[in-house]
Copies of this chain bind each other. A is one copy, B any other.
């Protein structure tokens, strides 16, 4: 299951948001067998515009992810920081990365 999250954050709270997001991503990929990749980037010049490419091994793995303590900490901790959220379901054409890059 693959998705792009398109997120806008209150610019005044961007540093706090980014810290919570990075903590949540690191924990998810490290702990959860079904979280394949989470690649979060910010638009240059508009760093409160964030995109995350999310790859889960299955929909069940995604649903389990939503129940983890690290995800709930992120979700609750950032609720007042996120001003817009759009979740875009996508299908892979080709996901290719250099061996050893992850």
A residues near B (Cβ < 8 Å) are 2, 4, 18, 21-22, 25-26, 28-29, 35-45, 47, 50-51, 53, 55, 88-102
Contacts and interface: CB of A to CB of B under 8 A. Distances in A.
Given A29-B96, A97-B102, A102-B97, A91 B53 contact: no
Interface of A is mostly: strand
Nearest to A102: B97
20 contacts: A4-B41, A18-B93, A21-B93, A22-B93, A25-B94, A29-B97, A36-B101, A37-B101, A39-B53, A41-B53, A41-B91, A41-B92, A42-B91, A43-B89, A43-B90, A47-B91, A53-B53, A55-B97, A97-B101, A97-B102
A9 to B, nearest CB: 11
Nearest to A32: B98
A55 B41 CA distance: 11
A47 to B, nearest CB: 7
